[in-house]
Each structure stands twice: as structure tokens, then as C-alpha cells.
Amino acid sequence: MKKIIFSIVLIIFTTACTTTIPVKVRKPAELNIGSARTIAVMEFDFLGSWDFSAGDKNSDNLKQAIVNAIAKKKDRKPLQPKAAYPGIYVSNELVAKLVQNGYYTVIERSKINDVLKEQSLTLSGLVDEEQAVEIGNMIGAQALITGSGSYSVKDEGEWETYTEKKKNKDGKKVKVKKKRYNITRHVSAQITFRIIDVNTGSVVASKTNKASNKSRLWKYRSSGKDETSAAAGLKDWKPIVEGLVSKILDKTVKQIAPHTVTQKREIEEGESKKMKSALEYAKRDLWEEAKAIWKKVLASKESEKEDRIAATYNMGLYFEIFGFFDDAENFYEEAYKLSDDSKYLDARARVKKRRKEVEKLRLQEEE
């Protein structure tokens, strides 16, 4: 028992010596697409499939209940599952995300449409390489992004028997068996994109990305006394598809463009008032003020060993964040020598990896 208490105290003490802060890190594109900086996004092919039978024995009842529920939400307009979420939504969303990223000059959709209309062309989906060169030259693009994809909506229904406590005539609580109908909505999506270099007509990058709502299915489950009442409570399929498409396209942008992400970094708190003060500066992104304090701690012969180790590590963190990797590695190595704690070697290894990322990023942004 004493060992357990000691371990808990040790964990609390160790955790109290460090805290995490958000740090913005510039990342290179995962895929190399060459020197193209002006791009055009063609309209994607994006088809849907809906399955309301879901293996239920009373699948006809379930299907009719869900169709009726969707029809009510859509003002009873005829359903066209395959075209209910057209590819133009996908390509427009990708354009918006690329513009927000800022790395590429993205040709306006209206200009593409005008040129295609003028040439009596209606193209979408996976444009072939020869067409890409022709279209790219007409609209002034260095590269074209084409693509296709699909989404699937599948509703699974089943009866469930459960117990509920109720008071009987005598006022005693008794267990009563009840039945309810549960429907779970499964949604998935996938998008394949290709980037075609207009100068060479070759495909310089291609990738298929997928997403689904399976990790949080409990959010998309509805229950009722029968199929109709359960279907009425189902979450609308379209916002789910929109969320998945957005997730996929966020990943797509990171694959083809340099981008900034927020990561967490551990920072040492130290023991002294000076170290606590430096931490407050760092947490507010006032790094120069924090650095000045850490330097004073390291320069003072009166500084405790714990503060000296913490300040040494934090100096390494400062230099890592601002891209001075040689200095960062030296401070992390010194922190390891002072403490014999391997986590400082892990920090040094992280810097080596970051150095390679930055070199890749430099080559991409200078092309």
C-alpha cells in the first residue's frame, strides 16, 4: 500500500514539474508536386449510395420509415441518392481550403466555366492528361486537380428488449420488460484526387483519402417505439457527409501544400520564483522575456540543480521553436548530461527530424 501511495505522489510531483504549451509549427507538403503554383480545381465526380435495408428482418418497414422521414425533411421532393451531394460541392470546398492555406494561386471557378463554355466543353471527374494540358493552357494554370469519390449512407435497425423499473399498484418498484427499435446511421466517404502538370501532361501526385463516422456511432443512433418514430429522430445524413468531406479535404491540403499545425510541447516549470515567472512569459508567447530569465538562472552560481536542468531544457525548446537547431541540440544534450534523463535525448532526436522537415519545406517554398 505504501508503495502505491509513493508511486502516486511521485507521478503527481513529476507532472507538476512540467506543463504543455501550444506551438505553431510549419510543415512541408507530404507529396512532391513540382514547381506549379497556379492551379485549377476541376469539378469532381461524387456519387452516393444509400442502404436502408441493413439486414433487418423487417427491412421493408425500416426502408419505408426512413424514406418517409427524409422526404418530410426535404419537403417531400423526390429522392435522388446518387446525385444528392454533387461533386461541385466537393471541388468548391477544396478551392476554399486551398485559398485559406495561401500557398497556391487558385484560378476562380467562374473563369474555368467561361473557358469551358466558350470551347463547348463540360468536363468533370478524372480528366485525362491530354485534356488537362489543353484546358490548363487555356485558363493559365500550371497544374490541374481532378478527382472523383463516393459516399455511403447505411442505416442498421434492430429491436432491443430492455428492462425498466416502475412502481406497481402497491407502490413497489418492479422490473418491467420493454421493447424499442434502434437505428444506427453509418456514413463513410472517400475521395481520389490527381494533380496533372500542364507542362508535361504527367500525373505528379495521386492519392485516395477516406473517412467515416464509425468512431462515434453512438452520436448517430436513434431509438423509438417502432421504425417510424426511430427514423424520425435520426440525424440528417447531409451534415455528416459534409463533415467527412471537410475532414478528407483538410488532409488533402496537407498532402499537397505546406501548412501550419499546432503542436504541444512540454516546458519545464522549475522550482524557483524566477522559473515560474519565465513560464508565465512563455505561456503568453513572450519568448524573449522568458529566455532572458533562463539565461540569468544559468549564469547564477546560486541556482539549484533542478532549476539549472529546467532552464537548460527550456533554452533548447526556445531555439527549436525559432529554428536554431544546432543550439537546440546542444542545450538538449547538456540537459541530458546534467540529469541523465533520456527524455532530453528524445527532444534532441525530435530536432533532428524537424531539421529534415524544414529542409524539405525550404525546397518546396523556393521552387
Dist CA 265 CA 271 (whole Å): 19
Residue 98 near residue 106 (C-beta atoms within 8 A) = yes
- For the record, the C-alpha cell of 331 comes out as 542545450
Residue 325 near residue 351 (C-beta atoms within 8 A) = yes
Q: Where are the domains of the chain?
A: 38-258, 268-366
Q: Give the tens place of pLDDT for each residue, 159-195.
A: 889 888 887 777 788 888 889 988 899 999 999 999 9
* Predicted pLDDT at 87: 93
Query: What's the alpha-carbon Rg for the chain, to the nearest Å?
Result: 29
Any residues with CB less than 8 A from the CB of 31 and at least 6 apart, and which?
205, 207, 255, 256
Nearest CA to 5 out of 13, 306, 15 is that of 13
Low pLDDT (below 50) residues in the chain: 1-16
Q: Give the tens place of pLDDT for each residue, 214-234.
A: 988 889 999 998 888 888 888
- For the record, the C-alpha cell of 317 comes out as 525548446
In 3-state terms, the chain is what percent helix, strand and coil (to 5)? Answer: 50, 25, 25
Kindly state which CATH superfamily the domain 268-366 is placed in. Answer: Tetratricopeptide repeat domain (1.25.40.10)
* Predicted pLDDT at 207: 96
Dist CA 288 CA 291 (whole Å): 5
Q: Give the tens place of pLDDT for each residue, 198-217.
A: 998 899 999 999 999 998 88
